[in-house]
Structure 1
Amino acid sequence: MSSAILSVVAGERVPNPARTIASTNPANTAEVVGEIGIAGPEVFVAAAGAARSAQAAWAAVPPPQRGQVIANVGRLMTANKDRLAALVTREIGKPLAEALGEVQEIIDTCDFFLGEGRRLYGQTVPSEMPDKQLFTFRRPVGSVAVISAGNFPVAVPSWYIVPALLCGNTVVWKPAEYSAVVSDAFHQLFAHSGVPAGVFNVVYADGPSTFEGLERSLEAGLIDKVGFTGSSEVGRRIGELCGRHLQTPCLELGGKNPMVITEDADLELAVEGALFSGFGTAGQRCTSLGTVIVHESVHDEFVQRFSTAVAAARMGDPAQDVLFGPLLDEKFAAGFEKSLGWIAAHHRVIGAVGRVGTDSPRDGFVGDPAAGLFYHPVIVDGVRPDDELFLNETFGPIVGITTYAELDEAIALGNKSGYGLSSSIYTTDPTKAFRFAQGISAGMVSVNNSTSGAEAHLPFGGNGKSGNGSRQSGIWVLDQFTRWQSLNWDYSGKLQKAQMDTVTVEADFDFRLPDRSDPADPADPADPAA
């Protein structure tokens, strides 16, 4: 028990967890990466209480000094980049190149937000009255609960935690159980960067305990903001819970992301983008490609090229040079197999379906497929707008293909699923690109690039079933972790009542210009302009 990774509340490990689970390597499920102490709801409530107690003192630290702490985080992440990335690869099976990119995303986020400590700007606003000044200020929201998924176990949490801390908030973080070892390493780097005890707490808990702990914390007034990355189904529950407490959460949910390929597209480039966005991270991104919507005139050529590229792609051991490795965890393997059940008789399936193994081998597989949760990449041609495979997120290595004749039809197909996270169009026609961006409901649009990929200074988030319109990253996330406060300062020495004491500037509204339609008419001598 003493070797288990335990929750951290107010800088101290919390003993006596409710139970202990093993986090295993999905590329080699016999390998235990670490033992995790799973806490009950009372630990979440205690962490929320610690965050509440620490918040006022942390908010009193000048923002540039909080920015210096974020700079320290970035430096420690840089110094530990290789080790942290290797742990990401080992615990969730993400290829090493992607894992290194994920840690770089934390560093980029820190680089951006360390400067925001000097740029938490308000405004000086002119008043309608004399001897009076108006101001606006950003104030921290208070204590923040962050609940994140494990497919991006360190990058996505940093999108919440870094700006939340920079803005003067305190944090309770509940990472995914299946990525808890790397989450603990992430938390330790913050703890060694000068973040005071109680400012950043971490709770390892399962879903039911987390929800109960969050509900109790909200009822006790200990949590002021919730950030959640995960499924649309759970996001709805969290949205309902927060709504009962008159709070608006920051929700980053699932996606069924379309890629439109026009008749004038560079097909070689489009295939490269579809391969990466469809099968990178084994299709386990919220921004993964869901459906290719390809113009009917280039459908056959695209499918031929795409299927050839998928067949040649290296998959297997994520520590090697591969496009993708295993599924994250047994529960995701079970969910993906359910998605495979949506393949219908009218579909044309390209490639093997199901788990890679001795009975269903894959040419060029890197490593031992029997050791881990490896699944064949699947292309399903001929999907229809009412298919479950077209409408629902699959979260695994499967891509659907359908056709269109006119661009408006492609846009309608792209919006059909009700998700609105990411989208992509491949075209050499600027008019088509702008028409697509205007018509698509997604919060993010790529032109001649994949549906996946984010930069630390660009807003990230979706609409519809993909989120509630909140945005992460860049200056836009500041609105999630600050509240606007207005201040009016009257130094006139008397009570001035807005809208009541305001001086009205009079005008002669009966004045009319003389009729000059006839050039022979002399100017009106009464007209000052004459």
Structure 2
Amino acid sequence: MRTAEETGKRETPARTVASRIGGRPAEEAPGGRLTSANPARLEEAVAEVLLGDASTFVEACRAAREAQGEWAAVPAPIRAQVVKRIGRLVEKNKEALARLVTREVGKPYAESLGEVQEIIDTCDFFTGEGRRLYGHTVPSEMPDKQLFTFRVPVGVAAVITAGNFPVAVPSWYLVPAILCGNAVVWKPAEYAAAAGDALAQLFFHGGLPEGVLNVVQARGEATFEGLERALGEGLVDKVGFTGSTEVGSRIGELCGRHRQSPCLELGGKNPLVVMPDANLDLAVEGALFSGFGTAGQRCTSLGTAIVHESVYGEFLSRFDRAVREAPVGDPMREVLYGPMISEKFYERFVGWLELVQDHHTLHGSTGTGRITRDNPRENFLGDPEAGLYCHPTIVAGVTGEDELYRTETFGPIVGVAKFSTFEEAVELANGHGYGLSAAIYTESAREALRFRERVSAGMLSVNNSTSGAEAHLPFGGNGKSGNGSRLSGVWVLEQFTRWQAMNWDFSGRLQKAQMDIPELPFDEGFRLEG
């Protein structure tokens, strides 16, 4: 395999990216045009994007509706073979897709390779599920009658994803939805349009019939309007959304009007609890990756490290040193993190820095905000003026009363809070209202299990980071982080199938449940003696 620096030497010209409906690329741009730029080198255009509008989204839903019935009629094991071929194509194109992800969203190349591997793992897992879309044979309360349950596809799924994981997270929706016999309309993030188009091309060349997967390149508001219209016309049966809590609430409200329950994977303010007996070096390593990997632009990024007072000072000192020494910069080199994904996220992050108050103490960097020649950082690799790079910042002295504690900041900033009792640690871990992921560092099985029982997060790590997912484990959150739905593993099948019950009476006469149940005699008055 070529090294990251070797793969970064070859420039790739900007491509033109458009919506693809019914197997055909759009030729017009009713939603305008957009240039997707490399956030590590802003002068480099990655793609020219022809944007669709609300009507484009509705048209894609109609194409999906037309294709879905025929696709659902294909036996599930055969659909799984298409998923298998998609996985093999992704595997053969792993480096090329990873390079594109790094160019478009600034993720370090090693992380991009891991993201593409997640697609391969997802395809591998669901290839087997094509032979395991099990129903049940259920005993009847009446003779000469059998009861069965079946999984059936929901129909047309509309999937809207964010761009911080522009290919892995979409695969968590697309692969199981398609395997289960649904047709999909997918709207990738407009700032990751090229990566989205590349992933879709791999799906198309894997053998999907036209219309089973449709891709809409559009801005957020146009997508929301299109979704509202498509739901109103009865063209969408399931909505999947990964993104902010605010937008997720709007989508949940919209789907509720149409008696649908969407799959919502939203933001997080993820705690990492450090107990008195924790391995501090391991805890610092976990906090470094959790808080600053992908420049803190993950829904599972560490929000607040919650540290016992007996080790608070030592943890903070070691964490400070680790952050100062960590290389930051050019994502094609070996760095902790690269640039902010786009100008939009950079501007939001700078605004969130205003949440730092007088009683907080900053650690881990020589500056805050954007890294430039005038606001430099030691251990920076590359040209800071070329991209949207921000200083890593540790904010000590955070309390449960601070807005910084309650707000998802989505950038390279980590709060550190102090606790004295286990109850206080749990309260800080839950008090912000998010419930995506959490971590605890301890050598005590008792404390780990107590924390698991009381933490509100949908995912918990013991002596590991708040970030990380595997294809066969449920992924999702509660509270502000989601509506309890789960992606990945067998659990996601509940999102893209519906249960159908069937009773088959072969008695030759009408048997009425709860009315014609045969009763066996018994001696109700029998009593044992003495």
Q: Bin the TM-score by the shorter chain.
A: over 0.9
Alignment partner, residue 493 of structure 1 = 508
In structure 2, what is the equivalent of residue 7 of structure 1?
Answer: 19
- Separation (CA, whole Å) in 1 of partners of 2:35 and 2:213: 24
1:367 and 2:382 aligned: yes
Q: What's the counterpart of residue 59 of structure 1?
A: 72
1:37 to partner: Cα distance: 0.5
The count of aligned residue pairs is 514
Equivalent position of 2:326 in the other structure: 313
TM-score by length of 2: 0.96
What per-residue deviation string (whole Å, max 9, x for no partner) do you get for residues 467-525 of structure 1? 0000000000000000000000000000000110001233333322222xxxxxxxxxx
1:420 corresponds in structure 2 to: 435
Query: Residue 258 of structure 1: CA displacement?
Result: 0.2
- Matches of 2:29 and 2:54 in 1, distance apart? 11
Report Cα offsets for 1:206-234 as digits up to 9, x if no partner.
Answer: 01110010000000100000000000000
- The residue aligned with 1:98 is 111
Q: Which residue of the partner structure matches residue 232 of structure 1?
A: 245
Q: Give the counterpart of 2:270 among 257, 266, 269.
A: 257
Deviations 1:386-417 (CA, angstroms, capped at 9, x unpaired) = 11100010000000000111112101110000
Structure 2 Cα separation of the partners of residues 67 and 3 of structure 1: 31
- Where in structure 2 are there 5+ consecutive unaligned residues? 1-13
Q: Residue by residue, what CA displacement relative to the aligned partner does 1:97-117 show, whole Å, maximum 9, x if unpaired?
A: 000000000000000001111
Partner SS for 1:433: helix
AA partner of residue 473 (structure 2):
L
Correspondence for 1:380 = 395
Aligned equivalents of 1:128, 1:413: Cα separation in 2: 51
1:371-410 matched pairs, under 5 angstroms: 371-410=386-425
Q: CA deviation at 1:16?
A: 1.2
Could you say which residue in structure 2 is the equivalent of 1:108?
Answer: 121
For 2:521 and 2:409, locate their aligned partners in 1 and report how far apart those are by CA, in whole Å.
Answer: 66
CA contact (8 A) 1:4 1:20 kept: no
1:68-124 Cα deviation digits (max 9, x unpaired): 000000000000000000000000000000000000000000000011111000000
- Structure 1, unpaired ranges of 5+: 516-530
Give the structure 1 partner of residue 356 of structure 2.
343
Please identify the structure whose Cα radius of gyration is greater.
1
Q: Name the residue aligned to 2:517.
A: 502
Q: By how many angstroms is 1:360 displaced? A: 1.1
- 1:124 matched to 2:132: no
Equivalent position amino acid for 2:43 in 1: A
Distance 1:90 1:416 in 2: 38
For the residues of structure 1 that align with 2:416 and 2:131, how far apart are their CA atoms? 48
Distance 2:25 2:296 in 1: 35
| Aligned-partner Cα distance in 2 for 1:3–1:279 | 31
Whether the 8 Å CA contact 1:383–1:400 is kept in 2: the answer is yes
Q: Deviations over 1:166-194 (max 9, x none)?
A: 00000000000000011111000001000
- Displacement after TM superposition at 1:3 (Å): 6.2
User: 1:83/1:339 Cα in 2 relative to 1: closer, same or farther (>3 Å)?
Assistant: same
1:470 match: 485
Give the distance between the partners of 1:338 and 1:434, measured in 2 at CA.
38
- Write the distance in 1 (CA, Å) between the matches of 2:15 and 2:92: 26
Q: Which residue of 1 aligns with 2:295?
A: 282
Q: Which residue identity is paired with 2:71?
A: W
Write the distance in 2 (CA, Å) between the matches of 1:342 and 1:252.
25
1:4 & 1:184 partners in 2: Cα distance?
Answer: 10
Among candidates 208, 221, 224, match of residue 195 of structure 1: 208
Tell me the SS of whatever aligns to 2:46.
Answer: strand
Does the alignment pair 1:246 with 2:259? yes
Q: Report whether the alignment pairs 1:23 with 2:36.
A: yes
**Structure 2 CA distance for aligned equivalents of residues 48 and 27 of structure 1:** 35
CA–CA separation in structure 1 for the residues paired with 2:482 and 2:497: 19
The match for 1:512 is 527
What is the match of residue 468 of structure 2? 453
Query: What letter is aligned with 2:458?
Result: G
Q: Which amino acid aligns with 1:214?
A: L
Q: Which residue number corresponds to residue 458 of structure 2?
A: 443
Q: Equivalent residue for 1:523?
A: none
Counterparts of 2:63 and 2:15, CA distance in 1: 24
CA distance in 1, matches of 2:524, 2:395: 70
CA drift of 1:6 comes to 1.0
Partner of 1:50: 63
1:64-75 matches, within 5 Å, as 64-75=77-88
User: Equivalent residue of 1:189, what SS?
Assistant: helix
- Per-residue CA distance 1:311-330 (angstroms, 9 max, x = gap): 00011000001010000001
- Asked if 1 retains the 8 angstrom alpha-carbon contact of 2:15 and 2:46, the reply is no
CA distance in 2 between counterparts of 1:367 and 1:429 reads 43
Q: Secondary structure, in 3 states, of the residue corresponding to 2:328? A: coil
| Structure 2 Cα separation of the partners of residues 489 and 151 of structure 1 | 49
The match for 1:186 among 199, 203, 212 is: 199
Secondary structure in 2 aligned to 1:341? helix
Q: Distance in 2 between matches of 1:144 and 1:174?
A: 11
User: 2 CA distance for matches of 1:507 and 1:334?
Assistant: 77
Matched AA of 2:325: A
- Secondary structure of the structure 2 residue equivalent to 1:36: strand
- Counterpart in 2 of 1:171? 184
Partner of 1:328, secondary structure, is coil
Deviation string, structure 1 residues 136-159 (Cα, Å, up to 9, x no partner): 000000000000000000000000
Partner of 1:88, secondary structure, is helix
* Counterpart code for 1:301: E
Residues 3/88 of structure 1: CA separation in 2 closer, same or farther (3 Å cut) = closer
Q: Structure 1's 13 and 446: CA in aligned 2 closer, same or farther, altered over 3 A? A: same
